[in-house]
Amino acid sequence: MASAPASPARQLRESTAQRVEPEELGLVCRAFPTNQVQRMVRDGVITDAVTVACLGLLMLHGLL
């Protein structure tokens, strides 16, 4: 049994609203050189447990 072709969405418009979770307020996303990120962790600038753990695993596996 053949299914009916999907009809294209109509009257769509791009949203200008950004949904930000409360814990994301004030976050800034930028690229940094690896050595600078490692220094930022050592100096206590980066303290997010998930980020620090991820960096540690990458270093442990020789990927950084």
Let me know if residue 12 belongs to a domain.
no
pTM reported for the whole predicted model = 0.57
Q: Tell me: pLDDT of 4 over 90.
A: no
Q: How many domains does the chain have?
A: 1
| Structural domain that includes position 56 | 28-60
The first and second tokens of residue 55, run together, are 């960096």
Instruction: Provide the pLDDT for residue 3.
Output: 62
Residue 16 lies in a domain: no
Q: Which of 11, 39, 6 is nearest to 52 (CA)?
A: 39
Whether 1 shows a pLDDT value over 70: the answer reads no
Structural domain contains residue 23: no
Closest CA to 51 of 61, 62, 36, 41: 41
- Neighbouring CB atoms inside 10 A of 2's CB total 4
Q: What is the pLDDT of residues 7-54, one digit of tens each?
A: 677 877 777 777 888 888 888 788 999 999 999 999 999 999 999 999
